[in-house]
Structure 1
């Protein structure tokens, strides 16, 4: 057998399609391997970047002690970490609904158009009832979707993660609008890791907040006690609701005391409480607390359209031994965080301290009033036994002189002296019973104002006037009503002065029950009468009876 081999000679032309047949497959496999390595390296870089973002988020969240700042940092960090368009954190209240809602992503105009923040219905309520992570490609297709309120932006992808503190669910982290179309399992793992750190940071912030809160309440109790015992001018009870409002971070506070008829009467208020809000307030909780002595937290009512609607309210009793003297209430407007049981316990302790301070102050004031009253009675008795009787004797002696001398000029002068003595006696008696025995009270009483008006007017009119006070002279008269009484006295004296033959006038002021009456009579028995009712507002009565 012979074999023939064809060889290329030096003169043969080169071949352009010449290839090594064994090189194609290894090269393709190498290129594929290099591509996978590059992709893996890119994934590693992305993962490292996201881990760095997670570590940075942990550091930012753990750097704050203010609870509100911590919540805001958590929401912002979660939004950046998983590249979400919208992020929110809903705090679950004691009643199983979202009590607070911190969010990022929406501009202020959109939030204002939407109005009230979510309460935890629909998809948001899934994590409230079943606190496990939820990841949806389109939340609108889920059976639990409740739809969006008017003016709410469209949302599709959704990721929800619960935040736990010591085994108890504090709230939920909500993320929507993934930049990648939908959230991945890696996004969920990152959000769960952030939620774990958030729980620790929130717990630390709450412990710090409770410590600061205890300090505020102790400071408020000490300040109220000090001011009550300082016996300063003004209304000492006003400081009690004011201190409670500040310590509780409330919008308003009400101090109400029980009257002798077992009705709650408002003594002092503080904050943004308007007459309209007060008129629409349900007082059944305050009445129940006054009756049972057990503090309570009143949950906010159903949503309403009122611009200044009252939200959460705490009512605590003011104990005095085995009885209750009144109630102290603090409240927040709708939209703010509801009060917790811890807030209620702090206010109850403050109410107990304030009640003891008020009772001690009242006892101290009663002792002072009794001492001044004893001095007042002693001085009055001494004036009656010595000064007034001597003035009466002089007046009687002058009247005896009238029979001895019938000269008109003499009798006119003696009658004038007698009138002056009668007026002096009346003024002495009135001034004795017009002593204001209330410590620290420097305002002029109604009797004093009437006497001053009479003295001013009779001096210019040229005829004497006697003033008699009857009834409940120690009763407090509102300033505006006292001004009306003085104006009525001046008008009556002006009318009598218009009579050319007027020689004297007699003025009677009677305070009986809820009626104050002013009667003015001249020497010819012509009289004028003015009367007005003394207001007794401030009673806390049930709704519908106002």
Structure 2
């Protein structure tokens, strides 16, 4: 048999050469390395995404705004694997009002000094809120360079944080541990910034809700706390509440001065309060005046143009945002509350003004109710005193009169005996007692603080000078003083009584003093006596000379009698017919 020949077109196979086998093996290794690298990248990306998710959960779980901002900065540094991270909060004026850093110790931050305000490269992100990624920060023409003592940085990544309706701030990352920030870093930080915007808005709402609850609680308490009759103490309580609730640095309460175009600071607390207390300034040009004129609250971001800053030196370099709140009552404007924050603090918001204005309105209402309650108590006291005075007049004095008449009639029948003379002395004592009771009745019926009558003017002086004497002076009024004495004489009588009692308190070393004011159809006499050591030989009698001139202007005179150990008697008289 012939051997079978091979099929046409088919070649006998031969074993693969080592070269071809080696080439196939290289392709498999490369493929495995590529797959391994891709798997590592996927795992690293998965880890970074997991880190981003954990960061998002950490951010949204925080409710306080300061806590949220701190967590955002820390999370951004971890997600982007950067050495340094910062968050700049944009203020109303377009600069950075707050700058939170992570990655630098306190000594480094202190050595750098003032925190950035948002100029240069940082300001570029404020002006145009789009991400900025640089391999070398020094290559960007907008970079102003680093401040002294700042650690060196090369790579930079900036991303804006947006809240509904505005840009809240910017995230700044520097010095990537991988050498430079990548597009993936930028995407991850942008995702974090989106979550940060939501968390910030939630924290703001939570903070505002908490603040509103605090203001409402203070509103409820203000009526209960304003229970004292001292209005200044009440205003201090209002100032303390506003200082705490508004996170302010200084609060002052001003009230209008009667019959003038001025306001006076009656309560102040915080920075410069000691200098501010008691200050007076014009209503026009003041923030308090603007609030009272409008009848609603006013906010300014910088108070330099207002007069309040010129009356308190402590305000000059520290005061920034200010708001003024009117204290409006049914009778008109009772005053205003001026609230200030330091320049380094945040600005007042519309929500701050709304809550503070509501509190001020409630405080004004509470003040009005407290005044009304105090007036009711004073009226009840006056009514009670009037009832007592009426009972003394209608019962006690009338009985004393009857007793005096009876004793006088008995004394007349015994006029020749010793007993008759003693009864006459008893009648004199009864008359003196009746005069003292009448003086007490007048004091009960007189409205405290009133100075429209001669009696009230004398009693007011006695109340002022009396505490300087060992005992309160006895005061007796005789005759129809308020009907016969010209009102123009009242101030002179008050001056006589004040000078006489003051001399007794300073020089007489007396234990007892008395004042008698008596009016007859012919003359008015003010008689003041004491049981002290007498005037002595001193030549300084300018006060008595003034009293003598006052009497001589009315055609009257002054008589002073004094002897050592027997006290001093002063008689100031003016004619009533000559008026």
Query: Is 1:336 the counterpart of 2:367 in the alignment?
Result: no
Q: How far off its partner does 1:86 sit?
A: 1.9
Q: How far off its partner does 1:53 sit?
A: 0.9
**Residue deviations 1:58-80 (CA, integer Å, cap 9, x gap):** 11111111121111111111111
Q: How far off its partner does 1:309 sit?
A: 1.7
Rounded to whole Å, the distance in 2 between the matches of 1:51 and 1:90 is 25
**Residue deviations 1:25-63 (CA, integer Å, cap 9, x gap):** 333333333332222222222212211111110111111
**Residue deviations 1:230-278 (CA, integer Å, cap 9, x gap):** 4577823332222223332333322222232243222333445532477
1:297/1:315 contact within 8 Å kept: yes
> What secondary structure is seen at the aligned counterpart in 1 of 2:291?
helix
Query: Is 1:269 the counterpart of 2:272 in the alignment?
Result: no
Match of 1:199 in 2: 197
Choose the corresponding residue for 1:248, options 241, 246, 251.
246
Say which is worse superposed, 80-89 or 233-242, in terms of deviation.
233-242
Match of 1:126 in 2: 124
Distance 1:525 1:181, change over 3 A: same
Rounded to whole Å, the distance in 2 between the matches of 1:99 and 1:281 is 32
Rounded to whole Å, the distance in 2 between the matches of 1:353 and 1:56 is 46
Match of 2:484 in 1: none
Choose the corresponding residue for 1:108, options 106, 109, 129.
106
Say which is worse superposed, 156-165 or 23-32, in terms of deviation.
23-32
Distance 1:306 1:362, change over 3 A: closer
Query: Is 1:288 the counterpart of 2:290 in the alignment?
Result: yes
Query: Is 1:309 the counterpart of 2:308 in the alignment?
Result: no
Match of 1:474 in 2: none
1:90/1:172 contact within 8 Å kept: yes
Distance 1:232 1:130, change over 3 A: same
C-alpha root-mean-square deviation of aligned residues, in Å? Answer: 4.8
Rounded to whole Å, the distance in 1 between the matches of 2:280 and 2:29 is 79
Say which is worse superposed, 127-136 or 323-332, in terms of deviation.
323-332
Rounded to whole Å, the distance in 1 between the matches of 2:254 and 2:440 is 39
Rounded to whole Å, the distance in 2 between the matches of 1:362 and 1:130 is 57
Match of 1:211 in 2: 209
Q: How far off its partner does 1:81 sit?
A: 1.1
Distance 1:383 1:59, change over 3 A: same
Paired positions, count:
463
**Residue deviations 1:262-305 (CA, integer Å, cap 9, x gap):** 43222333445532477799972222212222322221469x99
Choose the corresponding residue for 1:257, options 255, 258, 280.
255
Match of 2:301 in 1: 299
Choose the corresponding residue for 1:497, options 509, 522, 533.
509
Query: Is 1:174 the counterpart of 2:169 in the alignment?
Result: no
> What secondary structure is seen at the aligned counterpart in 2 of 1:22?
helix
Within-5 A mapping of 1:6-45: 20-45=18-43
1:257/1:264 contact within 8 Å kept: yes
Within-5 A mapping of 1:124-523: 124-228=122-226, 230=227, 235-260=233-258, 261-276=260-275, 284-300=286-302, 309-321=318-330, 323-376=332-385, 379=388, 433=446, 450-456=465-471, 492-493=504-505, 495-497=507-509
Match of 1:68 in 2: 66
Say which is worse superposed, 310-319 or 110-119, in terms of deviation.
110-119
Say which is worse superposed, 103-112 or 46-55, in terms of deviation.
103-112
Q: Which has more radius of gyration?
A: 2
Match of 2:55 in 1: 57
Unaligned runs of 5+ in 2: 1-16, 305-312, 451-459, 478-486, 488-497, 518-527, 545-579
Distance 1:292 1:28, change over 3 A: same
Match of 1:516 in 2: none
Rounded to whole Å, the distance in 1 between the matches of 2:280 and 2:42 is 63
1:78/1:194 contact within 8 Å kept: yes
1:290/1:324 contact within 8 Å kept: yes
Greater RCO between the two (CA within 8 Å, min separation 6)? 1
Rounded to whole Å, the distance in 1 between the matches of 2:251 and 2:46 is 53
Rounded to whole Å, the distance in 2 between the matches of 1:141 and 1:489 is 89
**Residue deviations 1:115-164 (CA, integer Å, cap 9, x gap):** 44333222222222211111122334433334444444443322111111
Q: How far off its partner does 1:197 sit?
A: 0.8
2:239/2:251 contact within 8 Å kept: yes
Rounded to whole Å, the distance in 2 between the matches of 1:453 and 1:321 is 42
Choose the corresponding residue for 2:46, options 45, 48, 51.
48
Say which is worse superposed, 374-383 or 325-334, in terms of deviation.
374-383
